[in-house]
Structure 1
Amino acid sequence: MSTPMLEVRGADVYYGASQILFNLDLTVEKGQTMALLGRNGAGKSTTFKAIAGLVPPRRGEVRLSGETVSGRAPYRIARAGIGYVPEDRQVFPEHSVEDNLIVAMKRGRRGEAYWTLTRIYEVFPILAGMRTRHAGRLSGGEQQMLTIARALMGNPDVLLLDEPSEGLAPIIVQAIGGLIRTLRGMGVTILLAEQNMHFCLDIATHATVVDKGQVVYRAPVAELRGNTAITQRYLAV
């Protein structure tokens, strides 16, 4: 059996005295697009922050290709192969699109240099025509594409996308979905946190549902699509 690309084992995560995640287990295999689904406040963003080292687990661990990375500083976890796209995008507004990309440029942890400016502009042609524009002048959807592209410039093993459809117009959500499907087809391993179940059902291969900081369901997307008991109980708005 191959080693999972990403594992979260028995993670307990707190904000101060308040516990947010309870013994959470999560596994993402190489090449999967895993949707982490749940209502607002279920613990999705906290799971991402725990993986990225921003809120380290008090108990449990995070492993990348079998190597424990929890307990390291966030920048060391990024260097180990985690690419993190937060829900609030966080571009460098006064710098150009290309500068935003260049600042994140690095080889992967085994020396990979698959993601270059040339390849980014091939996969994100909309950014190629905006390379000199200040990132702060982009639309929300354009900024979302830029932050995904910027994360890829670090040649990560796993890409974390936190609420990529949040606050975007439907036509832009379709474009983001198409982009994620393209990345999946290229073999990128993706963990995607979303409230929008229908968005995820169209692009993910597998799903994990969280509620009140605990995993309550995991299955291939095809099984979730037919499980109305789970979708009504944990995902219906």
Structure 2
Amino acid sequence: MAEPLLRIEAAEVFYGASQILFGIDLEVEKGQTMALLGRNGAGKSTTFKAIAGIAPPKRGQVILAGKAVTGQPPYRIAKAGIGYVPEDRQVFPEHTVDDNLIVGAKKGPCGEDYWNTKRIYDVFPLLAGMKTRMAGRLSGGEQQMLTLARTLMGNPDIVLLDEPSEGLAPIIVQAIGELIRTLRNMGVTIILAEQNMHFCLGIATHAAIVDKGQIVYRATIDDLRHNEAIKQRYLAV
């Protein structure tokens, strides 16, 4: 059986004396779009920070493409192939869209150079018409697209998307969903942290649910769609 692209083993994360993650186990295969679902405060964002090295696990392992990256600084984990899109859309507001993309440009961990500005503008046509616009003048949805595009410019093996639909108008959420579907169909491996289950049902291939810092459910997205008991127990607001 092929090695998962990303594997998290028994990860425990603390903020000071407070434990947030309690033995998280997760596997993501190459080409999957994994929805990491759970209520607010369940531990989704902390799981991403553990993977990206921002909140490194005190115990447990993060293994990327068969190599442990646990405890490495975030820039090394990024170079190893992790692309992280945080929930607060951290664009460089006083720089143009084009400049924001160029800042993120680097080859992948094995020298991959698939994502460049030309391909980005082909896949993100909305951004193509805004090359010279200051990023701080973009709408929330446009900034979300730009942050994702800038992350792809680093040619990552896997993209962590934290709450991409949060705070956006329904029509923009729909556009972001279409974009993620396009990336999925291109073979991009994505983990999508979301409270919005309905947003994920039409996008993800697999799902994992986090509750109180633990993975309590793993399945295909179709299995989750038909499991009313699990949805009611862990995802109902």
Same fold (TM over 0.5): yes
TM-superposition CA deviations, 1:67-92 (whole Å, max 9, x none): 00111000000000000000001100
User: 1-side partners of 2:66 and 2:37: how far apart?
Assistant: 24
Match of 2:47 in 1: 47
Deviations 1:174-198 (A, max 9, x none): 0000000000000000000000000
The residue that corresponds to 1:180 in the other structure is 180
Q: How much identity, in percent, do the aligned residues show?
A: 76
Q: Which residue of 1 aligns with 2:95?
A: 95
Map 1:63-82 to 2 at 5 A. 63-82=63-82
- Unpaired runs of 5+ residues, structure 1, are none
Distance 2:145 2:70 in 1: 28
1:222 aligns to 2:184 (yes or no): no
Letter in 2 for 1:46: T
Report matched runs for 1:17-166 at 5 Å: 17-166=17-166
How big is the shift at 1:125? Answer: 0.5
Amino acid aligned to 2:119: R
TM-score, normalised by the number of residues in structure 2: 1.00
**1:25 partner letter:** D
Deviations 1:150-204 (A, max 9, x none): 0000000000000000000000000000000000000000000000000001100
- Counterparts in 2 of 1:11-22, with a 5 A limit? 11-22=11-22
Q: Distance in 2 between matches of 1:143 and 1:178?
A: 16
Tell me, in whole angstroms, the C-alpha distance in 2 between the residues paired with 1:20 and 1:71: 17
Q: Aligned partner of 1:43: which letter?
A: G
Aligned-partner Cα distance in 2 for 1:21–1:112: 33
CA distance in 2, matches of 1:222, 1:155: 30
Partner of 1:150: helix, strand, or coil? helix
Corresponding residue pairs, total: 237
CA distance in 2, matches of 1:211, 1:129: 41
1:200-229 CA distances to partner (integer Å, 9 max, x unpaired)?
011000000010000100000000000011
CA distance in 2, matches of 1:212, 1:188: 29
CA RMSD of aligned residues (A): 0.4
| TM norm structure 1 | 1.00
Distance 1:223 1:126 in 2: 34
Unaligned runs of 5+ in 2: none
